[in-house]
Amino acid sequence: MMTLALDKPRTPRRPAARRNNWELASWVFMRVSGVALLVLVLGHLLIMNILDGGVHRINWGFVAGRWSSPFWQFWDLAMLWLAEIHGGNGLRTIINDYARKDATRFWLKVLLYVSMVLILALGTFVIFTFDPNFDA
């Protein structure tokens, strides 16, 4: 019986990485949120730009009437959150792929996460505190 011996690899073996499912969950989220965003955004475009006179009817009263309904508040909130997290996750992947230095990668991600939190907080605040009875 003859056995074959393999040469040692040129690079030392790295210790086994911790196995977590963060990247798998991120990958699944991108697919699910992409499909949900297709429905939300295409519905938004259809209602806002095509039906009942299109963009010419969009004004303060239209937005006030739309956001007086919890359904439309949730629709716009879901679109905001899914789009922001979907886009942020995509940018996180790009940063991981193209930032060469650890420090650069860290600071780019800090900027990304801070901007995401600010935009989500501001958008959520506007949707839930919008006053349709505002008289300017």
pLDDT tens digit sequence for 45-98: 998 888 877 788 888 888 888 888 999 999 999 999 999 999 999 999 999 999
- Model confidence at 133, pLDDT cuts 50, 70, 90, reads confident
The Cα–Cα gap between 42 and 33 comes to 14
The Cα–Cα gap between 25 and 96 comes to 16
Question: Which stretch of 95-99, 118-122, 130-134 has the lowest confidence by average pLDDT?
Answer: 130-134
Q: Which amino acid is at 24?
A: L
- Residue pair 40/82 in contact (Cβ under 8 Å)? The answer is yes
Q: What is the pLDDT of residues 96-114, one digit of tens each?
A: 999 989 999 999 999 999 9
- Model confidence at 1, pLDDT cuts 50, 70, 90, reads low
pTM of the model: 0.78
Residue 88 backbone zone (phi > 0: left; psi -120 to 50: alpha; other: beta) = alpha
- Residue pair 111/104 in contact (Cβ under 8 Å)? The answer is no
- Residue pair 43/97 in contact (Cβ under 8 Å)? The answer is no
